């Protein structure tokens, strides 16, 4: 496809106008003037009133939890989990997780997400949905250990992780990657944490974990672990020897930020979920200043209600100004980096995340013709502070259009909606 005379964001998130050409899975032309032999790019995309941006990454999600949208409201995290979420999740199966995952992916594509880092169960369903839909994904299979004696080898996860990595890691032309997982400090034990970290090194894969989501979790870790925060606990057990995505990090402390920076840990900030569950506000300006790779996530829709990542982008750029009294913290450029190139980096996708020749053709078209997007003094500012998720007109992954003007070429959206509604109603009726 050739995007002609289109405004686009360069690697510094400054607006330029030019021509962007894609061939196969890659961007092969970026220039101010039309390329020679433009017909080699195939379709010419007419671009008046449109902005081309790098695809966005949702670096912390639980896709099958789409079934729980709006189900558990007005509860703190622990009460939310134990009285509402866990009983519902016990009723989900691989068969019922599949349409819910497809619905989640459709929602993400609709809002410009090209890659998702997903922590959950029901691996066959999620892998099938990723394969069929065309989205990029880093998937991990959840491991939760509630006692201090269990060894990693005693869990089904060791053999499962080896199988998943052997059969699926870096498949689908690299779209699908497998990570290893620890749920959290409070649903783990030291033996399992150390063993999973060692297994990640052995298998050459990344990891994904919840860290310091609530003050209670953070402070109880100090009591349980001899004064160690969750981050320090994981680090003391060499868990961060391969790149890790640490979700939330709301109550992380300065020593934790240093560990993140030194170990190459990405912090997946989930501002909407953290506010909705009253968990607090991650110290993002401080972590950015410390050199931490900060990315963006929606969490599951049970705690956010939407995978509209532009809402989280807006919150990321806004709430820290109000909380700090400093209107300069978390600039639009920093927020956009979190949503794009930092997210790609968190997934180990160094050929993604920016509009440059040789990078993967993961591109999103945003319509700027709406009243709320005019006038335009600065395109990046409008994108962060004014754009709505519904302004996304096209989402392309590896050069393939997966969403365009209300159409999902790879997803039967009516069936995904119908089946998910039926399954959710059946589960609620059975509780």
Residue 132's pLDDT is: 98
What average pLDDT score do residues 410-428 get? 98
Query: What is the spatial distance between Cα 348 and Cα 338, in angstroms, rounded to a whole number?
Result: 14
**Residue located via tokens 């979190």:** 338
What are the pLDDT digits (tens) for 185-236? 999 999 999 999 999 999 999 999 999 999 999 999 999 999 999 999 999 9
CATH architecture of 56-346: Alpha-Beta Barrel (3.20)
- In sequence order, what are the residues at sequence separation of 6 or more whose Cβ sits closer than 8 angstroms to the Cβ of residue 429? none
**For the residues 127-140, what does the mean pLDDT come to?**
98
Structure-token match 């981050």, residue found = 231
* pLDDT score of 30: 98
How far CA 356 is from CA of 16, 17, 117, 338, 352, in Å, comes to: 12, 14, 23, 18, 9
Instruction: Give domain limits for the chain.
Output: 2-54+361-404, 56-346
Report the distance separating Cα 111 and Cα 272, nearest Å. Answer: 16
Residue 381's closest CA among 13, 12, 8?
Answer: 13
In sequence order, which ranges of 49-118 are alpha helices (DSSP H)? 77-79, 86-89, 94-110
The answer to whether residue 77 scores a pLDDT higher than 80 is no
> Nearest CA to 360 among 42, 14, 20?
20
Contact assessment for residue 372 and residue 388, using Cβ atoms and an 8 Å cutoff? yes
Can you tell me the distance from the alpha carbon of 73 to that of 274, in angstroms, rounded to the nearest whole number? 13
Rounded to an integer, what distance in angstroms lies between the CA atom of residue 342 and that of residue 363?
Answer: 15
Residue-wise pLDDT for 145-174, tens only, equals: 999 889 999 999 999 999 999 999 999 999
Q: What is the pLDDT of residues 255-282, one digit of tens each?
A: 999 999 999 999 999 999 999 999 999 9
Q: How confident is the model at residue 425 (pLDDT cuts 50, 70, 90)?
A: very high
Residue 365, CB-side half-sphere exposure with 13 Å CA sphere: 24
> pLDDT value at position 79?
87
Tell me what the mean pLDDT of segment 79-90 comes to. Answer: 91
Q: What is 2-54+361-404's CATH superfamily?
A: Urease, subunit C, domain 1 (2.30.40.10)
Give the dihedral sign, CA 116/120/124/125: negative
Tell me the CA distances in angstroms from 22 to 35, 36, 47, 198, one per residue in order.
Answer: 12, 14, 15, 40
Mean pLDDT of the chain: 96
Q: What is the DSSP string of 178-203?
A: E-EEE--STT--HHHHHHHHHHHHHH
Domains 2-54+361-404 and 56-346 fall in the same CATH topology: no
- What local confidence, expressed as pLDDT, does residue 357 receive? 98
pLDDT, position 413:
98
Longest dimension (CA), the chain: 67
pTM to 2 decimal places = 0.97
The per-residue pLDDT for 48 is 87
Two tokens, residue 94 = 């691989």
pLDDT at residue 175, rounded to an integer: 98
Would you call 300 helix, strand, or coil by DSSP? coil
Give per-residue pLDDT as tens, 91-127: 999 999 999 999 999 999 999 999 999 999 999 999 9
pLDDT band at 74 (very low <50, low <70, confident <90, very high): confident
| pLDDT at res. 78 | 81
pLDDT, tens digit (0-9, with 9 covering 90-100), for 338-387: 999 999 999 999 999 999 999 999 999 999 999 999 999 999 999 999 99
Residue whose tokens read 């240093």: 258
Determine the pLDDT at residue 47: 87
pLDDT score of 80: 84
Q: Which helix (H) or strand (E) holds 263?
A: helix 254-263
DSSP 74: S
Only one residue has tokens 């998937």, namely: 139
């Amino acid at each position: 496809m050739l995007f002609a005379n289109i405004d686009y964001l360069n690697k510094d998130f400054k607006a330029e106008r030019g021509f962007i050409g894609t061939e196969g899975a890659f961007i092969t032309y970026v220039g101010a003037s039309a390329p020679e032999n433009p017909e080699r790019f195939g379709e010419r995309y007419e671009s008046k009133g449109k902005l081309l941006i790098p695809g966005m990454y949702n670096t912390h999600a639980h896709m099958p939890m789409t079934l729980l949208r709006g189900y558990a409201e007005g509860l703190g995290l622990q009460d939310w989990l134990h009285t509402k979420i866990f009983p519902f999740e016990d009723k989900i199966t691989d068969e019922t997780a599949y349409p819910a995952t497809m619905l989640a992916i459709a929602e993400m594509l609709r809002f410009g997400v090209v890659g998702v880092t997903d922590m959950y169960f029901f691996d066959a369903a999620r892998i099938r949905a990723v394969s069929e839909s065309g989205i990029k994904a880093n998937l991990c299979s959840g491991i939760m250990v509630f006692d201090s004696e269990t060894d990693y080898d005693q869990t089904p996860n060791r053999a499962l992780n080896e199988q998943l990595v052997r059969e699926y890691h870096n498949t689908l032309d690299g779209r699908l990657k497998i990570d290893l997982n620890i749920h959290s400090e409070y649903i783990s034990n030291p033996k399992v944490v150390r063993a999973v970290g060692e297994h990640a090194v052995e298998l050459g894969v990344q990891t994904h974990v919840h860290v310091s989501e609530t003050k209670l979790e953070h402070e109880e870790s100090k009591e349980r672990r001899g004064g160690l925060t969750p981050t320090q606990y994981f680090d003391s057990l060499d868990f961060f020897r391969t790149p890790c995505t640490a979700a939330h990090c709301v109550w992380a402390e300065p020593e934790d930020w240093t560990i993140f920076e030194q170990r190459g840990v990405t912090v997946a900030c989930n501002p909407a979920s953290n506010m909705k569950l009253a968990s607090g506000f991650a110290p993002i300006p401080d972590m950015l200043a410390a050199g931490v790779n900060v990315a963006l996530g929606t969490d599951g829709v049970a705690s956010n209600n939407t995978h509209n990542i532009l809402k989280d982008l807006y919150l990321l750029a806004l709430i820290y100004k109000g909380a700090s009294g400093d209107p300069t913290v978390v600039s639009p450029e920093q927020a956009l980096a979190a949503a794009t190139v930092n997210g790609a980096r968190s997934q180990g996708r160094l050929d993604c995340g920016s509009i440059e020749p040789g990078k993967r053709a993961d591109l999103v078209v945003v319509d700027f013709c709406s009243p709320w997007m005019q006038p335009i003094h600065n395109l990046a500012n409008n994108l962060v502070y004014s754009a709505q998720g519904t302004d996304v007109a096209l989402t392309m992954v590896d050069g393939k259009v997966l969403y365009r003007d209300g159409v999902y070429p790879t997803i039967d959206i009516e069936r995904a909606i119908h089946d998910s509604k039926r399954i959710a109603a059946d589960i609620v009726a059975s509780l």
